[in-house]
Structure 1
């Protein structure tokens, strides 16, 4: 059972890095640092959008409009870190 919890924690960490990569790529596209006409950039952007958007959309809908600032990745990262702490502190020690 601890192996399954280790895999869950690893997946949560990878998802945090995917959220960060998605946010950085969106900034780079917004400031015209990278061109989305490039096939590699477009493929990476599409992958990151498909992975992160289904989880971020409900958070964006629940939050008030803050203008052009999107803090939903930060909220999701904080929720994932909270979930990781709950797993490590309360579930992991009680599993044999």
Structure 2
């Protein structure tokens, strides 16, 4: 059972990393540091969007419209941290 929990924590860590990369990349694109005209940047950006859009879409439906501010990555990141906290606090139930 310990192995399954470690794999789950690893997957949650990967999700956190991907969300961080997506957020930082969106800032760099918006401030014209990265250009979507470059093939590598465009393919990474669209790949991250395709990965995270199923996670963000239900959150965006619940959140009110904030204009140009997208809080879905922040809510998703908080949800991942909450899942980690719940699992770590209840790890004794899995043994």
Pick the TM interval, shorter chain. over 0.9
Q: Deviations over 1:26-59 (max 9, x none)?
A: 1111121111111111111111111111100110
Q: State the 1:94 CA deviation.
A: 2.2
Counterpart for residue 65 of structure 2? 65
TM-score (norm 2): 0.93
1:49-88 to structure 2, matched below 5 A, reads: 49-88=49-88
Residue 42 of structure 2: SS of its match in structure 1? helix
Runs of 4+ in 1 over 6 A off after TM superposition: none
TM-score (norm 1): 0.92
Number of aligned residues: 95
Q: Deviations over 1:7-27 (max 9, x none)?
A: 111111110110111111111
CA distance in 2, matches of 1:56, 1:95: 30
Counterpart for residue 93 of structure 1? 92
CA distance in 2, matches of 1:94, 1:86: 11
- Extract unaligned runs of 5+ from structure 2: none
Counterpart for residue 12 of structure 1? 12
Q: State the 1:4 CA deviation.
A: 0.7
Residue 19 of structure 1: SS of its match in structure 2? helix
Which structure has the higher relative contact order (CA within 8 Å, separation 6+)? 1
